[in-house]
Structure formats: C-alpha cells, structure tokens
Amino acid sequence: MLKKSVILLLFIFYFFPGLRAQIFTESNLPIIVINTFGIPIPDEPKIPGLMKIIDNGPGQVNHIYDSGNVYSGNIGIEIRGHYSSILPQKPYAIETRDTAQNNLNVPLFGFPAENDWVLLANYNDKVFMRNTLAFKLFNEMGQYASRTRFCEVTINGSYEGIYIFGEKIKRDDSRVNIAKLTENENSGEPLTGGYIFKMDYWDNGNSWLSNYHPIDHPNFDIHYVYDYPDYDVITPSQKEYIKDYINSFEAALYSNNFKDPVFGYSPFIDKGAFIDYFLVNEVSRNNDGFKKSFYFHKNRDGIDRRIKTGPVWDFDWAWKNIDECDIFRSTDGSGWAYKVNDCNPDINSPGWHIRLLQDPAFTAQLKCRYLYLRSNVLSDDSLFQYIDSCAAFLDAAQQRHYQRWPILGLNVGAPVVGPIPTTFQGEIDGFKGWISLRLSWLDANMPGTCQSVNLEENKASIPFIFPNPARDLAYLEIPAGIDIKKLEFHTLTGQQVFVSYNSNGQVFSIDLRFLEAGIYICTPYTGKGQQISPLRLIVSK
C-alpha cells in the first residue's frame, strides 16, 4: 500500500505539475478530468480535448487514477457565461464527441443521452447550491429543470475545485420537451412550434424588438432573443410567426379587457408554469430571474399552444442581499424581484408579471399555489434538510475548493451586503437564515386570496383552435365527450361573418380564405344547440 501511494505521488508530481501545490487524489464526489493538452480554453469556439468522468457510486471513494466509468473520450470545450466568465474559476460548455469530432449522445450520470453539457462554476456561490436548490424546487413543482451533479474537476493537471455538472437548456424530448422545428416547416400547424426564446444579452441579429413596453416603465424597449431555432438557423417565416404570436399575447395582456378568460391573456399562457417560475425566482429573490437567463417556450399548437416560462436558470446572484439597488439590498427579507426594472437594469424586463398581478384570478391561483407549496416543497424543514444534506456531502471537498480559491470572508463576485462569513459553516448558516427571513416576508406579503387549494385545471375539457394565428386554414380540436357541430365567427364588434359546420369528428378543418385579416371570436355549438365557451382566433394574410 505504501509503495502504491509513493508511486502515485511521483506520477502526479511529474505528469500533473499543476497539482504540485495542491495534491488531489480522491473524493467522495464524482471526479472529472479534462485534458486539452496544454492549450488554453477560449471563450469560443470549442477546442478539442479529452474528458474522463469517475463515479464509483454512493458511499464509494473516487480516485483520480481510476478508469473513466461514466465517460472516457473526446469532447469540445469552451468558456461559457457572461459575468461568470470573467471570474477566476471559469464555467464551461462541453460537447461529447466521437473520434471524428462529431456530436456523440451519451447518458452521463444516468441522465438521458445528449451531447451538450455545462460545468457551472461556484466562485460566486460559496454554498455551492444556489443553482441546484432552485432547479430542484422547479422540478419538484412539476416543471423541467436541468439535471445536475456535484463534482470536482481538474483541467490540464490543475485542480479547479467544486463544479456543478448539468444539462444545457435545449430542445429535446427529455429536456425542454417541445416539437422539433426544421428549416422546411414554414406553414400550417408545423410552423406553430416548438420555439424557445429568452430575455438575455441581445443584438439586432439574434433578437426581435417587441411592439410593447413594460407598463411600469413605458420608455423601456424590450428585445426577445431567439434560442430555438437559433438566430442563425431560424427562417423568416418562423421569425414572423413567433413575433406575431407574442405580439398577440401582449396585445391581449395590455388590453382593457385583459382579465377576460376568453378575450384576455389567459388563452395564451400556461398560468401554472408562469406561477411556478414566479415563485422560484421570488423565493430566491433572483436578481436575474426576470431580466436575463429568462426562458420561455411554446410548443406546436396541436400539442399545447400556450406560452410557458422556464426552465429556471442562473441563481448565483440569488438567495442573498446584493448591493445593487434597494430591492436586492434589503436585509429584512423584503422586495419583489419581478420589479427589477425599478433598478434600471442592464437588460430590461418585459414586466409581464406587473400586469398579471393586476388580475385577481391570477393572484388567487398564485396564492393557492404558494400556500400549497409552503406545506411541502417550500417548507422550512424541506429546504433546510436539502441544504444540510448537501453541506455534509460537500464538507471534505469544500476544504480543497477553498484551498484552491481562498475567498471565504472576502466580498467577491456579486457585491454582498453585510458581514461576510469566514467559514463554510458560516456561509451555510447565513444561507438558511436568509431563506427563513425571506419566506416569512413572503408569507405576509404574497398577493391574492385563496379560496381553494385545488388548482387542477381540466385542460382536456376545453376545445381549441390551431394554428393560432392562422392564414388560410385552421383546425378545431374537440375533447372527447363533446359533440360540436357548428362554429360561428364574429368580429370584435359582434357581427357574424362566417359559420363552419363539423362533419369530421374530433378534429375538423376550417377554411379561412374568405376571412379578412383580424381578430375573430369563434363560438362552438353542440348538436343540441348548446353554446360552448367562445374562442379567440387571429387571422393573418
């Protein structure tokens, strides 16, 4: 055993010179070893390298000389992120590749097979779990969030500390599960989805300018960034469709009858997803949550025509008091992150939640959801149990991390208000104390009146029209058990302009060639003449 240890130390000394100042040989965390053969990793493009991932299972020790039993092979790697990329511990984007340097889908750590991954750095997160906790909460609310694992990383022989290995936000059946949209799908229902777009750093090439301004800051312009399809792939027709759809939603949201369940904003959004996103970002008082790394997605109309918020992303500026503006500087747990436009941010927030919270139906659902989650997912006990278990799991690794990055007690990264703990346990205690104070404030200030904790919506009982907006042809999908025979079209002034009759069962086509461009109210009738809740259809030409 002694001979083996001496040989190992000599091996490390001669072949991993970057580790001479800090000997790293084993961990209870998975170990990721990256080698780019001494070539510095750029901020793009990705350069080739090798990666080995070692994970011998729960309760087992992983050694740096073990074989790569999770992965051992080629990668492309680059620095990722914006602010985080200028900090000493760099975050990375990784592609798993085959020997020909083509993308290689692999099921790392038991995650669904893919080729795009991230290594999130923790220089700006001294408890290592601001992101993982937020992802966990969103996932436990029934929404998709990136799967993650804590790990320790070496790059070209240099120990780089604790990272979070996880899934990149991406359209995929096991990630953001929306329909695939190809460059050839430029009409009809295929054109309606899926799409991912976001609030983020923008330029005129990767984004579009909204027709609307936040109601709390009418002088602010809003830009939405294309994410899927990417800005250099998305076609003109696809750009026009998603822009028109968001424009139609915002027109309804900012109209005088925005609260109306048919003529207002409600048909355009998944309120449940909007509420869950709001809660995760408000519980954490996330500085970035409503202005950048703020993702939205829309599926194909025949699957789900509603806009959803999420996945959640980027919480290293969350769960703490930041010396940026009064909202985030407050030390008493107060402040609303969704009002970030009051801070004159680097990226303007669309401010949709300002308007949504003026709707009593929305706030009632929000309050019910919050009260329900406070009894389980958002309970103090549940949150603190997760934090304590992670802290115990990371205890040995954090000592190595803070030897590599001696920043405990220093105000680095996001400028924090108040005393800076000098120990890891002090950081954990402060983290838990912050959460307790924040939840107490939210308990007293969450808007809305909850009459019932039953928030289930029977979406299957509601007929819907797709695509919407439509040009020459649309379809009405009828839920099972409803016998719809006729669909009347009226203008917003109440004039009947068209009647369509159903003879095709649960889905029937509607010829729109004779209708002018505009907004129509479509009223379904059963075979017995019973009226069903009206629908709204936008016809474009």
114 with 205, same domain?
Answer: no
In a domain, 399, yes or no: no
CA triplet 141, 162, 432: central angle to 5 degrees? 50
Distance (Å, rounded) from C-alpha 400 to C-alpha 423?
A: 13
147 with 218, same domain?
Answer: no
Burial of 226 (0-12, 13-18, 19+ CB in 10 A): buried
In a domain, 514, yes or no: yes
Query: How many CA atoms are closer than 13 Å to the CA of 80, on its beta-carbon side?
Result: 16
User: pLDDT per residue over 171-180, tens digit each?
Assistant: 999 999 999 9
110 with 225, same domain?
Answer: no
DSSP 66-126: S--SSEEEEEEEEE--SGGGGSSS--EEEEEE-TTS-B--B-GGGPPPBSEEEEE--TT-T
63 with 193, same domain?
Answer: no
The total number of residues written for the chain in this structure: 541
Domain end among 323, 358, 393:
358
Distance (Å, rounded) from C-alpha 60 to C-alpha 63?
A: 10
109 with 205, same domain?
Answer: no
Burial 391-419, CB ≥16 within 10 A → b, else e: bebbeebbebbbebbebbeeebbbebeee
For residue 501, what pLDDT is reported?
Answer: 81
Q: Which residue(s) pair with 163 in the sheet?
A: 151
150 with 235, same domain?
Answer: no
234 with 296, same domain?
Answer: yes
For residue 479, what pLDDT is reported?
Answer: 72
Distance (Å, rounded) from C-alpha 454 to C-alpha 269?
A: 19
In a domain, 489, yes or no: yes
Is 106 a residue whose pLDDT tops 60? yes
In a domain, 231, yes or no: yes
354 with 302, same domain?
Answer: yes
User: pLDDT per residue over 456-473, tens digit each?
Assistant: 443 445 677 878 888 888
In a domain, 265, yes or no: yes
In a domain, 28, yes or no: yes
Q: Quick one: tokens of 293?
A: 């790394």
For residue 22, what pLDDT is reported?
Answer: 72
Burial 110-141, CB ≥16 within 10 A → b, else e: ebeebbbbbbbbbbbbbbbbbbbbbbbbbbeb
pLDDT band at 536, cuts 50/70/90? confident
pLDDT band at 504, cuts 50/70/90? low
Strands (E), 289-334: 294-298, 307-309
CB atoms within 10 A of CB 458: 7
In a domain, 198, yes or no: yes
Distance (Å, rounded) from C-alpha 199 to C-alpha 204?
A: 14
Provide mean pLDDT across the span 392-400: 98
pLDDT band at 253, cuts 50/70/90? very high
Provide the domain limits for residue 77: 2-125+143-167
For residue 535, what pLDDT is reported?
Answer: 81
% of the chain residues with pLDDT over 70: 93
In a domain, 282, yes or no: yes
Q: Quick one: tokens of 430?
A: 């402060």
Q: How many domains does the chain have?
A: 3
What is the pTM (predicted TM-score) of this model? 0.83
User: pLDDT per residue over 195-249, tens digit each?
Assistant: 999 999 999 999 999 999 999 999 999 999 999 999 999 999 999 999 999 999 9
Distance (Å, rounded) from C-alpha 441 to C-alpha 327?
A: 13
Q: Quick one: tokens of 126?
A: 């001294």
Is 91 a residue whose pLDDT tops 80? yes
The pLDDT mean for the chain works out to: 91
CA triplet 257, 261, 265: central angle to 5 degrees? 65
152 with 245, same domain?
Answer: no
233 with 278, same domain?
Answer: yes
For residue 299, what pLDDT is reported?
Answer: 96
Is 13 a residue whose pLDDT tops 70? no
Q: Which residue(s) pair with 53 in the sheet?
A: 32, 71
232 with 354, same domain?
Answer: yes
Q: In what helix (H) or strand (E) does residue 369 lie, and over which residues does it extend?
A: helix 360-374
Distance (Å, rounded) from C-alpha 529 to C-alpha 484?
A: 9
DSSP 262-293: TTSSGGGB-HHHHHHHHHHHHHTT-SSTTTSS
Distance (Å, rounded) from C-alpha 428 to C-alpha 426?
A: 5
CATH code assigned at 474: 2.60.40.3080
Burial 326-341, CB ≥16 within 10 A → b, else e: ebbbbeebebbbbbbb
Report the relative pairing of strands 148-155 and 31-35 from DSSP bridges.
Answer: parallel
347 with 495, same domain?
Answer: no
Burial of 376 (0-12, 13-18, 19+ CB in 10 A): exposed
Distance (Å, rounded) from C-alpha 355 to C-alpha 257?
A: 12
